[in-house]
Amino acid sequence: MKLSNEERKAIYRRDGFACALCGSGKYLQVHHYIKRSNGGSNSPHNLVTLCSVCHAEVHGINAFDAPDKPTQEEMEQMVVEYLADMYAPTWNPWEKGTWMHDAMGGVQEPVEYPKREAMIHSTGKKDTVEIIEYNGSNDIIVRYNGVYCTAIDNPFSGLIYADDKYGVIEDYRGSGR
């Protein structure tokens, strides 16, 4: 699903209208850490503001020459560190998620999903869920015990409320449900 102008502006605002890697405010673009083609969502946990030069470099396109220029891998690591610092402790790119199947039927590398404490409807107790999609505080898809279900975010309690009783999504296939 294409990123809306509203979502793009929200990421720019979150990142201070500056590139997360170099601080430039010119030619800003939004980068998906996990590519959409690999199952990456438009969740703020997966998006970062980059200038056009840093964005090109993160994708392996040589946009500038400098003797001490970071490698593509180093730039990708800087994106990881930026997002991890912003969403700690709920964003964990090193913990493996589930195996995803791409559009061609092949198996992709595991997608990493951020984990967060949530109140679980069926048990009435707190437990950890994986945030699969975050489309706003009242439109969240989580996975709990292998079940995809709807959830809402309560900013006052700091908890997500996962409805694994009435909000189960039987045949979840990614964004756009």
Q: What is the dihedral of CA 58, 62, 66, 68, to 10 degrees?
A: 40
The rounded distance, in Å, linking the Cα atoms of 95 and 114 is: 9
Would you kindly state where each structural domain of the chain is located, as residue ranges? 5-87, 115-168
CB 71 within 8 A of CB 78: no
Over 70: is that where the pLDDT of 176 sits?
A: no
Given this model, what pLDDT does residue 104 score? 37
User: What is the rounded average pLDDT for all residues in the chain?
Assistant: 78
Q: Which of 150, 154, 146 is nearest to 168 (CA)?
A: 150
pTM recorded for the entire structure:
0.52
Structure confidence by residue, pLDDT tens digits, 87-125: 766 664 433 333 333 333 333 444 556 778 889 999 999
H or E segment and range at residue 159: strand 159-168
CB 151 within 8 A of CB 140: yes
H or E segment and range at residue 122: none
Q: Which amino acid is at 114?
A: P
